[in-house]
Structure 1
Amino acid sequence: MAGPHQAAQHSTEVLHQTRKGPCPVKMAVGGFVMAATIGYFVLWSKKKPEASALDVAKVTTGVAKPENTHPR
């Protein structure tokens, strides 16, 4: 059991933290990856039947050419 002399050794701060918070760069990269993934699946769900998953990926990344977006 703790005695009265042991209570004086603890910090009197109420909101002290023992470890660092999350890194803002990692959170930004994670958010970007999540947004890109959601965007890909939205485009994939609305694609035309003749479009392949690779065509959707090209449109998502912005490297698609007209032959990737027009029916074959």
Structure 2
Amino acid sequence: MKKVIANILFLALVAYIVADVIVIPVIDFYKQYGSLWAIAKLAVIIICVIVVYYLLIFMFKNM
């Protein structure tokens, strides 16, 4: 049960960091360079987030 709570707290922290570090800059980027580049940047970020998420799951399972 403690592990579940720890995972939820960790994901909440990650979500906050993602919103703060990624979403706001992407919106600024969109205003500056247009939609196509912003979509490409967002796609790359989403792929990175998914990869990190699966790595974390893998790490937690092996702990």
TM over 0.5: no
TM-score interval (norm. to shorter): 0.3 to 0.5
Structure whose residues are more often helix by fraction? 2
TM-score (norm 1): 0.39
TM-score (norm 2): 0.43
Structure of greater Rg:
1
